[in-house]
Structure 1
Amino acid sequence: MQYALAILAGLIVGVVFSAIKLPLPAPPTLVGVLGIVGIYLGYRLYEAIVGLF
């Protein structure tokens, strides 16, 4: 359910930003999105490593 709400929120923000002619508040390419995913995974990895000690 959280995933669906997140996608819905993203779609709404995308439509609103497009309607008022603002640039997207996110990377416009898949490479940028993958960079954000990498940052998130690195954050989670650090938390997991610290949790072991």
Structure 2
Amino acid sequence: MNLSLVILATMTGVATGIVFGLLDVPIPAPPNLAGVMGILGILVGYRLIEYFDVGVSLLSLLNV
């Protein structure tokens, strides 16, 4: 994992959150920890499928 990319992404997120807060508009992200953990769970599940290589190609099943 590229630490500088993680730091840049975090700084960009903080700056974006500040702008949304200053403009008093809702953020395009979960407003609480449960929502953030749900997104993290989606990422972990996706990575597990990649790691174990057990995915199914939906396009192949649909003959696309």
Measured against the shorter chain, the TM-score band is 0.7 to 0.9
Query: Which structure's relative contact order is higher, taking Cα pairs within 8 Å and 6+ residues apart?
Result: 1
TM-score by length of 2: 0.72
- % of aligned pairs identical? 45
Structure 2 spans left out of the alignment, 5+ residues: 55-64
Q: How many residues align?
A: 51
The equivalent residue for 2:34 is: 31
Show the 5 A alignment for 1:1-20: 1-20=4-23
Moved beyond 6 Å, runs of 4+:
none
Structure 1 spans left out of the alignment, 5+ residues: none
Larger fraction in helix: 1
Could you say what the CA RMSD is over the residues aligned between the two structures, in angstroms? 1.2
